[in-house]
Amino acid sequence: MKKALPNLVNRPAWWLLAEWIIDPLNLLQKWAKKYPDLFTISLAGIGDEVIISNPEIIEEIFNKDAKQFHIGRGNQIIAPLVGQNSLLLMDGERHKRERKLLMPSFHGERLQTYAQQICEITEAVASQWQEGKGFIARTAMQKITLEVITQIVFGLREGERYQKIKPLLAAMLNLTDSPLRSSLFFIPFLQKDLGYWSPGGILKRYQLEIRELLQAEIEEKRHQKGEIGKDILSLMIAARDEQGEPMSNLELKDELLTLLFVGHETTATLLAWAFYQIHRLPQVRQKILQELDSLGENPNPMQITQLPYLTAVCQETLRMYPVIPIVFSRITKTAMDIGNYHFEPQTILTPSIYLVHYREDLYPQPQEFKPERFLERQYSPSEYFPFGGGSRRCLGYALALLEMKLVIAKILSGYELALVDNKPVKITRRGLTLAPSGGIPLLLKSKRHPQASSPEKTVTLVP
Ligand code: HEM
């Protein structure tokens, strides 16, 4: 017998919203135990969401034509951060056009040109660490990933604009760095500009300042003569759609903020978790170092990215730590049957990365960090999807993986680190993402190679 809203969780919508903001993983786990395939939660102000953890149902959703769903509409909560012309909020032909314009900058040979820069940025950040002193892994990783976005995506490496924009970007993102402050996303009232000190007011001020700086940078790049710059913004400015039309300044600004917003916190958090596991389990660190040693002195960065065990460590980190526990919701346009279920039009279908990645039948002992599972078996796109799937699959997944591998390799080969304590680390909400509580304190025991402290090329960093 088919039902309209299957396995409806019988709790008040305001209660479920509070749980969703404060402890989403506990909420997901609790109900998935009772309903292993899918269940429906009513979230106050958001609606009834069908949370799905059955890979076969998810496969059907990912394989369906994107035209059958509204997807951008479900992302409206982040419009105040990224603007209305963001890829995240688009659907249909417009989404297709925008992805085509953006895609080439993130794939193929383009990526290789970013590898050396990532290594230099990592070295510049790590060389500031002092022997015998501690630092917070997540903060350090965010320094690296923010620098990557500013240099590789925005094309800003030096000058007044560069000095101004980075602290502003960091401050804007820090507006939602705790479960309480994350309510800004979920309670639209808080996004309103209610005066100078209101969260909405502060957000608006940062936005205006950042947008002004981006506008100036776009103008300058548009009028630059000669060869097109290698950064992603220059490529976006040069890109043309099928009608030969370029992206407007407004589109460019919204897309830049989108890339900043989705591209740097996620990668920083994953890196912090990777360092946690690598230093919690000495054999993992040892195996990575052995693999790196096998490449000899000064390996080419692209050789590093091919290493199987290092790749498996990144895959396992992405499995275990869902920075985003769900993919974008797919909202049905018409009634549809998927698996044994019938869904009415306007049903919000939300595959859960977290629940699938912790299924015992796919990942025995899911709470254990075991990179070997990725060397022993292949997972299908609906059994393992840290970057989502179908037409909305993460645009920056190749850049994120490149960054993860190179940062880990560069730091492990140059620096001997240790966890400050061995206590288990909890997962806490940070805006729309989930991050390690306390950020994972690390200690620099020693620099492994003397040259680790003197990068060949100096990258200037804004404190
Ligand atoms: C480890 C880091 C990252 C993770 C775990 C991650 C994960 C995701 C996920 C789960 C989605 C939603 C996909 C879906 O609904 O099917 C997504 C979308 C997206 N991601 Fe990432 N991401 C990461 C890094 C990045 C980076 C570095 C960039 C670019 C600089 C980026 C750009 C995007 C964009 C533009 C979208 C929207 C795609 C669309 O709507 O068509 N992400 N990401």
Query: Which protein residue's CA is at the shortest distance from atom 30 of ligand 1?
Result: 263
Our answer on whether the CB atom of 394 is closer than 6 Å to any ligand 1 atom is yes
pLDDT tens by residue, 403-434: 999 999 999 999 999 999 988 999 988 777 89
CATH number at residue 431: 1.10.630.10
**Alpha carbons within 13 A on the beta-carbon side of 363:** 25
**Domain of 169?**
13-453
Q: How many CB atoms lie within 10 A of CB 95?
A: 18
Considering the chain, what percentage of its residues have pLDDT values greater than 90?
Answer: 66
pLDDT for 458: 44
Pocket test for ligand 1, best of 385, 387, 408 (most atoms within 8 A of CB): 387
The CA distance from 209 to 168, in Å, is 8
Mean pLDDT value across the chain: 89
Determine the distance separating the centroid of ligand 1 and the alpha carbon of 396, expressed in angstroms.
Answer: 6
| 86 domain residue, yes or no | yes
Q: Percentages helix, strand, coil for the chain, rounded to the nearest 5?
A: 55, 10, 35
Determine the distance separating the centroid of ligand 1 and the alpha carbon of 393, expressed in angstroms.
Answer: 7
> How confident is residue 446, by pLDDT bands cut at 50, 70 and 90?
very high
Question: Which helix or strand (DSSP H or E) is residue 140 part of?
Answer: helix 137-148
Determine the distance separating the centroid of ligand 1 and the alpha carbon of 226, expressed in angstroms.
Answer: 32
State mean pLDDT over 163-176: 81
pLDDT for 113: 86
Q: What's the total number of domains in the chain? A: 1
Is residue 453 scored above 50 in pLDDT? no
Give the position, in ligand 1's atom list, of the atom nearest the Cα of 353.
10
Is residue 174 scored above 80 in pLDDT? no
| 61 domain residue, yes or no | yes
Q: Which of 52-56, 176-180, 356-360 has the lowest mean pLDDT?
A: 176-180
| 460 domain residue, yes or no | no
Is residue 452 scored above 70 in pLDDT? no
Is residue 194 scored above 80 in pLDDT? no
> How confident is residue 2, by pLDDT bands cut at 50, 70 and 90?
very low
List strand residue ranges (DSSP E) for 295-404, in order. 330-332, 336-338, 341-343, 348-351
| 459 domain residue, yes or no | no
Is residue 138 scored above 60 in pLDDT? yes
| 232 domain residue, yes or no | yes
Is residue 384 scored above 90 in pLDDT? yes
pLDDT for 186: 60
**Tokens 């970057």 -> residue:** 387
Is residue 195 scored above 80 in pLDDT? no
Is 314 annotated as contributing to ligand binding?
no
| 47 domain residue, yes or no | yes
Contacts of residue 36, Cβ cutoff 8 Å, sequence gap at least 6: 53, 54
State mean pLDDT over 85-98: 94
Our answer on whether the CB atom of 154 is closer than 6 Å to any ligand 1 atom is no
State mean pLDDT over 244-256: 93
| 327 domain residue, yes or no | yes
| 458 domain residue, yes or no | no
Contacts of residue 174, Cβ cutoff 8 Å, sequence gap at least 6: none
State mean pLDDT over 222-249: 87
pLDDT tens by residue, 258-284: 998 888 889 999 999 999 999 999 999
The CA distance from 270 to 144, in Å, is 13
